[in-house]
Amino acid sequence: AKSQSRGSISIFEPQMDQQLRDRRVLHQDLSAAIRNGELSLHYQPQARAGQTVVDADITGFEALARWIHPTRGFVPPGDFIPLAEESGLIVEMGEWILRRACLEAASWPVPLQIAVNLSPAQFMHGDLVGLVHSILLETGLQPGRLELEITEGVLIEDFDRGVALLRRLKALGVRISMDDFGSGYSSLTYLQAFPFDKIKIDRAFVINLGLNPQSAAIVRAVIGLGHGLDVAIVAEGVETHEQLCFLASEGCDGVQGYFIGRPAPIAQYAALVGRIAAA
């Protein structure tokens, strides 16, 4: 507590030192993680928004990266993805994730959509279009099944380059989703300039649906915006039946969240993708 501190510097410095050391070690471990097979993908289903959710409503999955560290165990992506971004490791890691997701999805007998997150560094450096193209050829995944999720932060850096890149990606036949819509700035400008196929309403608005009328108004407005622009709207973070009913009654196209299904190894969804679960 404050009253007990004799000088915040002497108390907090060792702690910050420790944090820095921690990060350095974690970073070294992360660069070995791909080689050592510590990364894997979990899959979270997306469904058409209806009053009930049955398996037939599932339209696809979002791939989410998982890192099981040999001694620390599970490290959340909210921790290691930013670390990978700062260090540039994300380019190599992102390539692994994209290839892995396409490879796995290509093996599903049922041709559901597969959504993969792209980080800003992947988007702005290297030959992303060439990479996506060669991974599609290599894995045989039908381009229309691949959705690339980007946040608007990606586009802030270089607007013109962003527009050109998205157009070239779309020319390959893949779909583009705007992730975390409403959590950043200038969203409307981006909607006008970029050829999105899907907008994902940020979880924060969905959480508050039953709690404050403003969230309901915002969600309703975004759904209306999507319909006006002919862009599909998917709500993220749907955790309750009430949220699902509200979204369905407002005409939201898709839903994703714990109420539909948690991120899990694909074996858990084997029946949906048409595979026999591995023992």
Report, in Å, the least distance between residue 60 CB and Ca ion: 12
> Pattern of binders to Ca ion over 41-80, x per CB under 5 A?
----------------------------------------
* Interaction of residue 144 with ligand C2E, rule CB under 6 A: no
b/e code 77-97 from CB counts within 10 Å (16+ = b): eeebbebbbebebbbebbbeb
* Interaction of residue 65 with ligand C2E, rule CB under 6 A: yes
Interface with ligand C2E by CB under 6 A: which range of 4-12, 104-112, 127-135, 255-263?
A: 255-263
* Interaction of residue 50 with ligand C2E, rule CB under 6 A: no
Nearest to 264 by CA among 86, 72, 52, 42: 42
* Interaction of residue 179 with ligand C2E, rule CB under 6 A: yes
Interface with Ca ion by CB under 5 A: which range of 48-56, 104-112, 143-151, 243-251?
A: 143-151
Determine the 3-state secondary structure of 147 from DSSP.
strand
Q: Token digits for 192?
A: 């006008």
Measured CA to CA, the distance from residue 140 to residue 142 in angstroms comes to: 6
Measured CA to CA, the distance from residue 127 to residue 24 in angstroms comes to: 28
Among 13, 19, 70, 76, binds ligand C2E (CB under 6 A): 76
Only one residue has tokens 């193209």, namely 133
* Interaction of residue 82 with ligand C2E, rule CB under 6 A: no
Contacts of 252 (CB under 8 A, 6+ apart): 49, 201, 219, 223, 233, 234, 235
Instruction: Identify which of residues 149 and 253 has a Cβ nearer to Ca ion in the complex.
Output: 149
Q: Give me the residue whose beta carbon is nearest to ligand C2E.
A: 257
Query: In whole angstroms, how far apart are CA 146 and each of 7, 137, 166, 215?
Result: 54, 13, 14, 30
Instruction: Identify which of residues 14 and 153 has a Cβ nearer to ligand C2E in the complex.
Output: 153
What separation, in Å, do the N-terminal and C-terminal C-alpha atoms of the chain show? 52
Instruction: Identify which of residues 2 and 69 has a Cβ nearer to ligand C2E in the complex.
Output: 69
List residues near ligand C2E by CB under 6 A.
44, 64-65, 76-78, 81, 94, 97, 117-119, 179-180, 203, 237-239, 257-258, 263
Q: Which residues contact Ca ion (rule: CB under 5 A)?
A: 117, 149, 179-180, 236
